[in-house]
Structure 1
Amino acid sequence: MKIGYACLTAGVPGTEMKGCIAKNANNENLQNIISINLDSLINILKYNVDNNIRLFRISSDLIPFGSSDINKLEWKKIFGQRLTDIGTYIKNNNLRVSMHPGQYTVLNSLNDEVVKKAEDDLKYHCDILDLMQLDNTNKIVLHIGGAYEDKEKALQRFTDNFSKLETRIKNRLIIENDDKIFNIKEVLELANQLGIPAVYDNLHNYANSYKKDISDLEWIKECSLTWKKCDGPQKIHYSQQDKCKKTGSHSKSILLNDFLSFYHNLKQYDIDIMLEVKDKNISAVKCINTASTDYNISVLEKEWARYKYSVLEKSHKHYLEIRNLIKDKSSYPAIKFYTLIEESLNMEGSANSYINAFEHVWGYFKQKADDKEKMKIQMLLENYKYSQSGKESDNIAKVKSFLMKLSKKYDETYLLNSYYFHI
């Protein structure tokens, strides 16, 4: 069972994806951007391997305007070998990847031009995976599309247009239930008709269910019947509802207890779990580290280095408790460790706790900063200390933004690899 995340990383230098607007999409710019993006992708994959993350969704933005006539660059020819090399790294490290075209890739549209663009976009995604020389266990995820006031006709259009796709695309395509239109029952029926796998998304089912009394596990078992050996292990999407936003909105982070309850129900099955969550790799590492019992304390020490200042700014009590927790080198208290972190991050944090964290982080630069930078941090700290009600969060952001700028300038890798600037 693999656990992974989608597209982007938080707190990992050298993993940013670049893009450009259409008017700047000349060959020179595109070649430079694609080169940067491929460097970022391999850095992401290396980070994933280092953290035992074996499942990853590659961003559709890897090649800007990859399926559009706007991109005139012969990118497949120029970057074909680099993509093959990345694919070799993926295979050598037992990684599984996927791609997920966006909301404008609508195969069942009433508009022929939209359908043509959807076909082109699916070809682009398939080209990426083919150039990497990855087998058909590395999938392309797609939603069915719109209902257009007649679901039966909409499903038939998807079927008709699917039949016209190249075989190589059909062999990679898997379909997912969405949060508004096509529920998991309808997706399963279509998947069985087309002979392709169905992807179960638990939050989409919560938002757009067929029957409320059918459990996640029951749907997952039914979806498993659509996965053949050549498709690889069954893959599902797992996310949690952001309680402050509309139904179907992904949470900022995965809450551990809820995830572990879900995970332990599936433990006996060979299922890959793609987390869809705002903090991306941060939650993925947490879930992997708590789902496993094979690690030693060094894994938590590595995580503590990333979390420590984020905890300190919220609760000095939790900071000390976690630090003491991991002193026993023979133990692996992962669940307690992350539970304390979750508790602290959900706290408001006092003015004193924020200042304490600011001063700890500023300590990395005290001997390096010039006079102008020293004056700037003093001004920012004073502004925060005397913030009027409602201004605190703005001033916290300003202090942390400046500290991040200094981290980059002075190449403080310990801070740049931490979560302090990202959660």
Structure 2
Amino acid sequence: MPHPRIGFACQYRHPVRSLSPAELKLIETPFNPRTTTLRWMDSVAAPVARDKLVEVVTHNLAAQLRLLAYVAQLPAPLRMLRLSSDLLPFYSHPKVRDFYQEPAIQTWLGEGFAAIGALAREADIRVSFHPGQYCVLGSDRPDVVENSLAEFEYHADMIRMMGYGVRFQDLKCNVHIAGRLGGEGTREVLPRLSAVARNCITFENDEKTYGVDECLKLADLAPVVLDIHHCWVHEGDYIAPHDPRVQRIVDSWRGVRPTLHYSQPQESLQELGFSADQKLEMPALLEVVSKRDLYAHSAQMWNHWSNQYALQFADRFDIMFEAKDKNLATLAFYGAYMEARGEAAV
């Protein structure tokens, strides 16, 4: 059985947090994506806006390579990374998309993303994407659906240029079921996605409307990503590692090792009397906070009970951490828990 992996999302954090913001920015910026705004681009001459896009994309391609090189030197269980959705600003926007379709730009992007994909494969880094909240495939508004399809295909284009998307789940591109039409609306539009997109798409349960059961209704179409924090908030209790639904989630991956998402509510709960060593029970929490207060992610994985709970899934799942401290959260968890379990494979 392969060693379990834990990963982080999109951005690098320097471990010495006592440095000034300016010092941290100087160190971290080479690893992290930059962007611009449509308002600024509309306010300047077209050649100036074009030069800015070229500058930003040049930085972002190099930054993604640097971040992958950082991950490549980590122990094998830490070689898992969610790539940034912001590498190509406004790629699917009508005002900008013609720029990205120019033959010279396509060649340049193809070379840049091919290098990203080659490094990920060479270093055996499990990479993924997660389009943002505005990718709503189940909307009842046709314009939103069209924009969402274009946004997902933006990710599919990056996946294709990286050399992935050629077979089922060689890379995960995850979305939430969202929109008034929910899973049925998503099912209806899924055939409109490209083959690359359909090879990579996964559906994740959320904390508000579309939980695990709704995602499993689409398991015949694509794998389900179990988010155990969202499930806890949505259902008011922790899903058991051997709940029959968990096996159905594993089966939806059709032999590929599944990915699980893991986060915790914010550390400020400790100021309200909730210990890092105790199980966070929903009824007790809701006496002092609202359910919405539990949506926000913590900086680190501070609750020990929750960490031990999450590790019960590690025999079958790789785990993507959604923590504000990014790589620092995975490093701390790895040192505190995985090494002690003898899972510090290198």
TM-score, normalised on structure 1?
A: 0.64
Q: 1:147-296 residue pairs with structure 2 within 5 A? A: 148=180, 153-192=181-220, 194=221, 196-209=222-235, 212=237, 214-218=239-243, 219-229=245-255, 232-242=256-266, 244=268, 246-255=293-302, 257-258=304-305, 260-269=307-316, 271-290=317-336, 291-292=338-339, 293=342
Residue 89 of structure 1: CA displacement?
A: 0.5
Q: In 1, Cα distance between the equivalents of 2:69 and 2:124?
A: 12
Residue 139 of structure 1: CA displacement?
A: 1.1
Query: Are 2:78 and 1:48 aligned?
Result: no
SS at match of 2:218: helix
Q: 1:304-343 residue pairs with structure 2 within 5 A? A: none
- The unaligned stretches of length 5 or more in structure 2 are 15-26, 42-48, 269-291
Number of paired residues?
286
- Aligned partners of 2:10 and 2:32 also within 8 Å: no
Q: Relative to structure 1, is the Cα distance of residues 216 and 204 closer, same or farther in structure 2, using a 3 angstrom cutoff?
A: farther
Residue 256 of structure 1: CA displacement?
A: 6.3
Among 166, 173, 181, which residue is 1:140 paired with? Answer: 173
Aligned residue identity for 2:308: S
Aligned residue identity for 2:106: K
Residue 186 of structure 1: CA displacement?
A: 1.1
Render the CA deviation track for 1:19-71: whole Å, top value 9, x for unaligned. 00114442211111001011111111111122232111111111111221232
Aligned residue identity for 1:138: L
Render the CA deviation track for 1:188-233: whole Å, top value 9, x for unaligned. 12223x2x10000011111112x7374244243331010113xx31
1:66 alignment counterpart: 91
1:97 alignment counterpart: 127
Q: Relative to structure 1, is the Cα distance of residues 287 and 22 closer, same or farther in structure 2, using a 3 angstrom cutoff?
A: same
Q: Relative to structure 1, is the Cα distance of residues 217 and 62 closer, same or farther in structure 2, using a 3 angstrom cutoff?
A: farther
RMSD: 2.2
2:5 alignment counterpart: 2
- Aligned partners of 2:12 and 2:327 also within 8 Å: yes
Residue 176 of structure 1: CA displacement?
A: 0.3
TM-score, normalised on structure 2?
A: 0.77
SS at match of 2:91: coil
Residue 73 of structure 1: CA displacement?
A: 2.1
Aligned residue identity for 1:241: P
Q: In 1, Cα distance between the equivalents of 2:177 and 2:71?
A: 30
Percent identity, please: 26
Q: 1:348-359 residue pairs with structure 2 within 5 A? A: none
Aligned residue identity for 2:319: I
Render the CA deviation track for 1:165-201: whole Å, top value 9, x for unaligned. 2222111100000111101111112223x2x100000
Q: In 1, Cα distance between the equivalents of 2:154 and 2:327?
A: 26
Residue 96 of structure 1: CA displacement?
A: 1.0
SS at match of 2:182: helix
1:332 alignment counterpart: none
Query: By percentage of residues, which structure has more helix?
Result: 1
- Aligned partners of 1:191 and 1:198 also within 8 Å: yes
- The unaligned stretches of length 5 or more in structure 1 are 300-423
SS at match of 2:158: helix
2:118 alignment counterpart: 88
Q: In 1, Cα distance between the equivalents of 2:343 and 2:136?
A: 43
1:123 alignment counterpart: 153
Among 30, 50, 56, which residue is 1:33 paired with? Answer: 56
Q: In 2, Cα distance between the equivalents of 1:139 and 1:268?
A: 19
